[in-house]
Structure 1
Amino acid sequence: MTARFPHAELADLPQDILATILEIQEKSGFVPNVFLTFARRPAEFRAFFAYHDAIMTKEDSALTKGDREMIVTTISAANNCTYCVVAHGAILRIYEKNPLVADQVAVNHRTADISARQRAMLDFAVKVNSASHEIGDADFDALREHGFGDEDAWDIAAITAFFGLSNRMASFSGMMPNPEFYLMGRVPRS
């Protein structure tokens, strides 16, 4: 499948967006396709990445970076989003220092080699993704049994909901993962 929408041309981008993309390129060695796809619409790019950063990099949360990427990978798999499973699975492998975890949670988080705490977190995320209208006290109680509070539940739900949007945009637009993502975190760096 090829992308249905052309990537933005770097030369045509507003300075703030170009600076963000160049910073990502410097850090990762390539520009993830999501940046070039969303850059077609500068206002949406800014809003998308502002909310992304607000939920994925916040410091006052019980969720680790690995937990957040585990939610994204699990939800993206449930939503059949190739781009996000591959890209965020790569980041998950790196944060968790585990080359198997992303594939396991993408296939079935209930049988993955993860902690009971992470499984409870993912159970909640999956329910928010598929049946948020059914979330009730029992779901919050299940999280509390593993040390999560109400603000943590909010964080899990916010990540789930945001990546529901991201998954749908990536899938409808035909966004494909960069080849670099496939090997990231699978083999230890030398």
Structure 2
Amino acid sequence: MPDTHLAPAAEAIARVHLPRLGAEPENIRALIERHAGENWVRTLALNPDTARRFASYFEDLFRVNGARLPLHERELIAVAVSATNGCGLCEIHHTIALGEALGDAVRARRIALDLHLAVLSPRERALVEFAVKVTKTPKQIDESVFHNLRAAGLDDADIIEALEVSAWFNHTNRIFIALGVQPDEKYFFRDAQDAQ
């Protein structure tokens, strides 16, 4: 029988009390393993239904193929929203993913550090401005915003997907900020390796 004692406070990765790895229910273990035992999935796994719903949406939204927007644009939106909201977990995770999608970890970090100074294409700039507006002032989105997105080469179906990614990351950020989920240590070690 697995050890179901709670992790010591020194190992706290969130504001909720997590069982040690291996103590989770059998039916959720594969989900945790599929996501490399990362802190976010371990935290959500306290409620298996929440973890399954969340992971299913995440996996579908960030699949490499089969979406309207290329992966690097979806990751760009994730970084823009997470940086705007101050969600350290999502910001570092998706900055790394953006770097992988772009093939340029340094550019991804520059984007995350300062959206205003980042060198972006007109289409990327339009997506970032839209994502920030969805995050901060959604009632100010009007026809001119849609006109700017169309002028940057997005059609209406693309705009709906950009909105979906922006809104979903606002949802995600609020969950992980409120739960106080800590970024995994591997994110920092990887970041240091990329910089060398």
Give the shorter-chain TM-score range.
Answer: 0.7 to 0.9
1-structure distance, mates of 2:146, 2:94: 26
Larger RCO (CA within 8 A; separation ≥ 6) = 1
CA gap 1:169/1:114 in 2 versus in 1, 3 angstroms = same
Deviates further, 73-82 or 97-106: 97-106
Q: Name the structure 2 match of 1:23.
A: 34
CA gap 1:118/1:9 in 2 versus in 1, 3 angstroms = same
For 1:45, which of 28, 43, 51 is the aligned residue?
51
Give 1:129's aligned amino acid: T
Identity over aligned residues, as a percent?
27
2:84 aligned with 1:73, yes or no? no
| Alpha-carbon shift at residue 108 of structure 1 (Å) | 2.5
**Any conservation in 1 of the 2:79–2:95 contact (CA below 8 Å)?**
yes
Q: Name the structure 2 match of 1:86.
A: 92
Q: Name the structure 2 match of 1:122.
A: 128
2-structure distance, mates of 1:91, 1:12: 29
For 1:177, which of 173, 183, 186 is the aligned residue?
183
For 1:107, which of 93, 109, 113 is the aligned residue?
113
| Alpha-carbon shift at residue 141 of structure 1 (Å) | 1.0
Paired residue secondary structure (1:114): coil
2-structure distance, mates of 1:154, 1:12: 40
Alignment length (residue pairs): 185
TM-score (norm 1): 0.86
CA gap 1:11/1:180 in 2 versus in 1, 3 angstroms = closer
Deviates further, 149-158 or 1-10: 1-10
**Any conservation in 1 of the 2:61–2:67 contact (CA below 8 Å)?**
no
1-structure distance, mates of 2:59, 2:192: 25
2-structure distance, mates of 1:186, 1:101: 15
Q: Name the structure 2 match of 1:28.
A: none
Aligned-CA RMSD value:
2.4
| Alpha-carbon shift at residue 19 of structure 1 (Å) | 1.2
2-structure distance, mates of 1:180, 1:51: 24
In structure 2, list runs of 5 or more residues that go unmatched: 1-11
Paired residue secondary structure (1:184): helix
Q: Name the structure 1 match of 2:5.
A: none
Structure with bigger gyration radius: 2
Q: Name the structure 1 match of 2:7.
A: none
CA gap 1:8/1:156 in 2 versus in 1, 3 angstroms = farther
| Alpha-carbon shift at residue 16 of structure 1 (Å) | 4.3
CA gap 1:107/1:54 in 2 versus in 1, 3 angstroms = same
1-structure distance, mates of 2:154, 2:68: 7
Paired residue secondary structure (2:46): coil
TM-score (norm 2): 0.83
| Residue-by-residue CA offset, 1:94-141 (whole Å, 9 max, x unaligned) | 111112223222233232122121111111111111111221111111
2:154 aligned with 1:148, yes or no? yes
Give 1:145's aligned amino acid: A
